[in-house]
Amino acid sequence: MPELDAEDEKLVTLARSARARTQAAEGAALRDTDGRTYAASTVDQPSFKLTALQAAVAAAVSSGAEGIEAAVVVSPEGLLKGASVQAVRDIAEAAPIYLVDPSGKVLN
């Protein structure tokens, strides 16, 4: 289990807050290469669905982010969805993606 630095711990807090605020299945947060942060939760609408990380990446890209430094997903499932990972990899091939359980424990 990796030790997170202070900046990545902030992402955990943001992701947990996004999940709790909306009572969603997942919460996610990311930091772009300019140091800006984005947080989102699962979107589950009749016409479209996004994982929390896809929603956070969409917010970042629509705000002009050109890269991602790190991302966090808070999920009770214990695994990262492939679509979440691919959303980050489309922009940043090597950015770490941390999976965290709802209590804040880093799983990977």
Model pLDDT, residue 1: 58
Tell which phi-psi region holds residue 10, choosing left (phi > 0), alpha (psi between -120 and 50) or beta.
Answer: alpha
Question: Which one-letter DSSP state was computed for residue 106?
Answer: B
Along the chain (108 residues), what's the average pLDDT of each consecutive run of 10 residues?
88 98 97 98 97 98 98 95 97 97 94
Looking at domain 6-100, which of 3.40.50.2300, 2.60.40.420, 3.40.140.10, 3.40.50.970 is its CATH number?
Answer: 3.40.140.10
Paired sense of beta strands 97-100 and 68-74, if any: parallel
Model pLDDT, residue 108: 87
